[in-house]
Amino acid sequence: MRIACHSLGLVKTVISDTILVNSANGPKDLMIRVSIIGFPGALASPIIGMIDLLQLAGVAWARIQNEPPTQLFSVRLLTLDGEPCTCLNGLSLPAHGRLDDNDPGDLILVPTIGGPIEKTLANSTQQVAWLASQATSDRMIASNCTGAFLLAEAGLLDGREATTHWGYSAQFQTRYPQVACRPEQLVTVDGNFACAGGGMAWLDLGVYLVGRYAGAKTARELAKAFVVDAGRRSQAPYSAMQSKRYHQDQAILALQDWLDQQFNRPLLMDDLCSASGLSTRSLLRRFKLATGDTPRNYLQLLRVEAARQLLETSVTSVEQITQQVGYDDVSSFTRLFRKHTGLPPSDYRARFGR
């Protein structure tokens, strides 16, 4: 998808000047050096946003406090051929150089894949090979959203925990079964590899990285300057149960349809076996293979999902909602709800209620 932009030349000049001027403030060897990997169809907002966020660490808060600013990060955009990065929205972002001709520094960032994922992966074999060659003991590599597909394609996430946009987690898990995907997590860190979840999670990733490289105090100040809720930990409130149905096991699909109607009453394993026509052993094995989950946890998710919808669309009390979705004890359900969404029911309603 491309959009017309009559002021594109002006945009390019401003972006380029900002990067070059900021990168020249102070000796480079005293800064944390960051390289962002640009590729066709990348989302522009994580690229530009990360440049702004990192290069204003130690600067934005100091200006607010009328103190001398100290730039801590030097950020460059690198592309395969050194040519501008043409993003999904049609903006063309000037690059600072080629991947092969530059030392990427202390930290490599992979932005969101904005276009079709499979097509982007097929067209990015050289970038993937380059990423695979850059893993060292003293360098961190991080991705935002669907950028995790490029890290996983390079084999960097094998045997590690990672996250991606919750809407693409089933595709991710299918393509990379050797990666421990945690779609409920907003940011995962495993060794020298970090991944952020969907959309604007690059803000949370950026604040984390500033804290890791420049200290917790600087990260807190940056979060306050950018008005970022640094306490977010989960993208579960945005996820959907539908992703659990991306499979072809008809017996399990039929059982899921049955559970949609029966989730709010007491259910035993014998009830599920009777409804599915499967033995306990076969049910547990096939349910896990199809959905990636156990029947017990899936039933909990159904109840949480029903409670979420009621919290979003009604003024029914939390006590009544607890009973309507099949629980008697409000405190235990509150703990369960918070486990799966990252928020207690009252806070969830305050944030998402319509």
Counted domains in the chain: 2
- Let me know if residue 3 belongs to a domain: no
The dihedrals phi and psi of 173, each to the nearest 5 degrees, come to -65, -35
Residue 134 is classified by DSSP as T
CB atoms under 10 Å from CB of 57, counted, come to 27
> Which of 19-33, 134-148, 159-173 comes out lowest in average pLDDT?
19-33
Alpha carbons 175 and 187: distance in angstroms, whole number: 20
Query: pLDDT tier at 27 (50, 70, 90 boundaries)?
Result: very low
What would the pLDDT profile of 317-349 be if each residue is shown by its tens digit? 999 999 999 999 999 999 999 888 878 999 888
- What is the reported pLDDT for 127? 96
* Domain coverage including residue 77: 8-236
What does DSSP say about strands 107-110 and 187-190: parallel, antiparallel, or unpaired?
A: unpaired
Say whether both 231 and 248 belong to one domain.
Answer: no
For residue 113, give the nearest of 100, 128, 134 by alpha carbon: 128
Say whether both 248 and 211 belong to one domain.
Answer: no
Handedness of CA 339, 342, 343, 349 (dihedral sign): negative
Average pLDDT for 122-140: 91
Query: pLDDT tier at 241 (50, 70, 90 boundaries)?
Result: low
Measured between its terminal Cα atoms, the distance across the chain in Å is 32
Instruction: Residue 294: give its domain's CATH number.
Output: 1.10.10.60
Say whether both 128 and 155 belong to one domain.
Answer: yes
State CA 238 to chain mean position distance: 11
- What is the reported pLDDT for 78? 96
Say whether both 129 and 249 belong to one domain.
Answer: no
Average pLDDT for 295-318: 90
- What is the reported pLDDT for 354? 67
Question: CA-CA distances (angstroms) from residue 101 to 79, 80, 98, 140, 337?
Answer: 10, 10, 5, 19, 50
Round the average pLDDT of the chain to a whole number and report it.
85
Residue 99 is classified by DSSP as S
- Does the pLDDT at position 21 exceed 50? no
Alpha carbons 74 and 25: distance in angstroms, whole number: 9
- Does the pLDDT at position 12 exceed 60? no
The dihedrals phi and psi of 124, each to the nearest 5 degrees, come to -120, 30
Say whether both 62 and 197 belong to one domain.
Answer: yes
